[in-house]
Structure 1
Amino acid sequence: MTHVKMTPVHPGEILSEEFLSPMRISRAFIAKGLNLPEADIDDIVEGRRRIEADTALRLARFFGNSAQFWFGMQMQYDLDKADELHGDRIDKEVSVYRQES
């Protein structure tokens, strides 16, 4: 069976496509609501900046969801990118532990 690897989706894309656009919230408005520079929001939405723990807490407060939701998306993105960049090499370099009977 062949595994098809999907391109990792940055949480900023989720923020934009699933929250800002459908709710008609501008980047300037959310930046003000989060008390963050608009440039930070631009960088997150454009995939140039991570969602750090502090930002996850702010987004959770703003949208009424959990910081784990936002931070978890960032962690998953980071792991997917690491696997995309280094997974094949790590598979070759590291052997699976097998306990001897």
Structure 2
Amino acid sequence: MELTLPTSKEPNKMSSIDYSSFKSPLNHPGEHLKLEYLPTYGLSPAEFSYAIGVDSEQTIELLNGERSMTAELALRLARFFNMSPEFWMNLQVQMTCHERRYDLEGSSKN
């Protein structure tokens, strides 16, 4: 079986999900953390902050969507949850790109 790379005329079959068709904004990484991860582990924000070694104010801001995911924080979350830091960074990138795409498309219609 021969593998071929797509040419510029062929669509990339490995591309990710097209979020441009989503009507509502994507969830902030902190919202995923607050709604899916902390309850599963039975941790309060303060307990979680202590466990990953960050200031509780930083955690609260992330959970409330007031702070963006950083590489350092993604590494701490990845270590704690035994997963990749790219998961957390990708959540932030996808949300930010979706917001900016919406802003750009909305401003081009005016």
Verify same fold: TM over 0.5: yes
- Could you say which residue in structure 2 is the equivalent of 1:9? 27
Check conservation: 2:38, 2:44, Cα contact below 8 A: yes
Which runs of structure 1 show a deviation greater than 3 angstroms over 4 or more consecutive aligned residues? none
- Residue 61 of structure 2 corresponds to residue 43 of structure 1: yes
Change (3 A) 1:4 1:36: closer
Unaligned runs of 5+ in 2: 1-20
TM-score of the aligned structures, taking structure 1 as reference length: 0.80
Identity between Structure 1 and Structure 2 (%): 30
Shift of 1:4: 5.2
Give the distance between the partners of 1:59 and 1:30, measured in 2 at CA.
10
Unaligned runs of 5+ in 1: 93-101
Give the distance between the partners of 1:51 and 1:4, measured in 2 at CA.
21
Larger relative helix fraction: 1
Structure having greater relative contact order (Cα 8 Å, sep ≥ 6) = 2
TM-score of the aligned structures, taking structure 2 as reference length: 0.74
- Could you say which residue in structure 2 is the equivalent of 1:97? none
RMSD: 1.5
Count of aligned pairs:
89
What one-letter code is carried by the residue in structure 2 that aligns with 1:35?
G
- Could you say which residue in structure 2 is the equivalent of 1:95? none
